[in-house]
Each structure stands twice: as C-alpha cells, then as structure tokens.
Amino acid sequence: MNTLKATSFRFPGQTTFYKGKVRDVYTIDNKYMVMVVSDRISAFDVVLPEAIPYKGQVLNQLAAYFLDATKDIVPNWTIAVPDPNVTIGHMCSPFRVEMVIRGYLAGHAWRTYQSGKRILCGVVLPEGLKENDKLPSPIITPTTKSDHGHDEDISREEIIEKGIVDEDDYIQLENYTRALFKKGSEMAAAQGLLLVDTKYEFGKSNGVIRVIDEIHTPDSSRYFYAAGYEERQQKGEAQKQLSKEFLRQWLIANNFQGLEGQEVPFMSKEIVQMVSDRYIELYEQVRGEKFQRAATDNILERVEKNVLSCLADLK
C-alpha cells in the first residue's frame, strides 16, 4: 500500500524547509507555513523504519477538527486544510517548550511514579496512587522541545528562571493549556472516552499566542474508554485505551525504548496493518463518524496539486 513517507517539494515563494519526526514543514514568503503530515511514525523520540498507511490523514484531519472546535477558546495557526494530509497556516515563532497536561497517572508519569519519584516537573504527586488513577486535578508537566533526541521534563520555575519563556507568556500558556484540556475532555466524554493526557505546542505571530501543530490526536494524546473504567481500576486490570501507548508497549516488549545501543524491532506487514487499524479506530471513535480513506495511488502528486492551488488563492 502506498504511503506518504517523505516529501521534497519546491513551492513558489518557498523560503525554508524543515523535516520533523512526522511532519514536513515548508515556509512560504516568510508568512505562511505548509505542514505536510507524513505517514512516518515515531516512538521514544525515534522515527521507526516503516510508514503507517493513512496515519498522516488521521492526524491531520483530527487536528483540523479539534482546532476548529477550539478556535473560540484559543487562537490557532490554521488558515486552510487543502489536502487530507496538509494544513496551511500562519508562520509562528514557536515556544521552546511543549505543554503536557495530565488528568490521570499513565504512561511516562506512571513510569516515573513507579520508580519511586513523587515529584514530576516540580509537581508533587500524592502517595498511594495506582496506574491509571485519576489525579485530584489535572497537572501540567512541561518538556523541553528538542529538534533531535529526547525531550526532557522541566518545571515551570526552571522555564521562567532560564528565560526559555517569559513569565507573562508562560502564565498564558498554562491558562490556554487548561482551557484546551477542559474542552477536549468534554468532547471526549461525548464520545464515551476519557482524555487521559495530551500535549500542546504554542507559537507567536504578530504578538498573538496561537496553538500550533496538532491537538487531541493519537500522537499527542491518550484516551481511555469511559465504560468499565472504574471497574477495571478496582480490579487492577489494564485500561482499554486509544493512544499510541500500544505501540510503545509492543516496542518495550521487544526490548526497545530508544536507548543507546538498542535496535528497532522488525515491523512485519501485520504489525504495520495493526497500527494503521488502531489509528483509524481512534479517529472513528473520537469523531463519531466513518473514516474516509483518501486515494493513495499518486499521493505526492495529489498533495502538490492541492497545495499549489491553495497557495495561489492566498497570493
């Protein structure tokens, strides 16, 4: 099956090109950004060797859905979604932190807690918690934003003390983060889901702080099914979830956590298809509608044509 693994376009007015772990980002006239969401997949900050069919479409269309639903709460960067895998928006200067917010003790937070630590990013966690327990209130646990290698946990105090983000701006980032998480949790609940944790990235354009990149997608968020959550917690059973955690757990089971000297395990066609199916499942559960697979026979041609058409309309 054809996948969108990499791009190398030359658009009119193109000034810069940046290849991220998953996204290829083109700057146009130092004014607009063309974000092409590829089918690449990363885990533990490592890009895995196999691309996942329809993953980019799932991420881009889910992000567009949530950004549109929250634009009255927080300004965002988007202008148009001209292709299933592409968003075009305002060029922003990104803040060098990722705002992670957690409503439940899961994933990295649980692994940290399980190791015996009770302070995460300057936030004190209570004793006696179990994996996937709901926290007394959502906590913000920022990370540094790294172009290469691992992002690292950092506290609010360190961010301000080191001048990574101005204090007034950081307070606004926290307020926006909590508002987005509240809205995302409400939208998840309407679909029978619990928004467990997520991350947001922000940037500035003409003095305006905007949420950038994706929000509430399986790459940035973790969801539990609400039905049976309490019963599973009481029994100490694993939660039924929709997120990328299943992929992380598969990698861990195959002795890979992105550490030096470790090799990415072989990803069979069956594993690749399973990952694709899980992404589509999450899309359909979160959106409450059937996923419409875009044509994949000439993906690069389709993307280029749609982007060029949109850019011509912006001129």
pLDDT tens digits, one per residue of 89-119: 999 999 999 999 999 999 899 999 999 999 9
- Is 247:43 a contact under the CB 8 Å cutoff? yes
Query: What's the pLDDT band for 311 if we cut at 50, 70, 90?
Result: very high
Per-position b or e across 69-94, b if 16+ CB within 10 A of its CB: ebeeebebbbebbbbbbbbbbbbbee
Higher pLDDT, 80 or 245: 80
Average of per-residue pLDDT values in the chain: 94
pTM to 2 decimal places: 0.90
In this predicted structure, what is the pLDDT of residue 168?
97
Q: Which two tokens stand for residue 280?
A: 């589509």
In this predicted structure, what is the pLDDT of residue 147?
58
Q: What is the mean pLDDT of residues 29-43?
A: 95
Report the distance separating Cα 77 and Cα 198, nearest Å. Answer: 19
Report the distance separating Cα 4 and Cα 7, nearest Å. Answer: 8
The lowest-confidence range among 50-64, 134-148, 202-216 is 134-148
Q: Given a cut of 70, is residue 148 above it in pLDDT?
A: no
The lowest-confidence range among 32-46, 55-69, 242-256 is 242-256
Q: Percent of the chain, pLDDT > 90?
A: 88
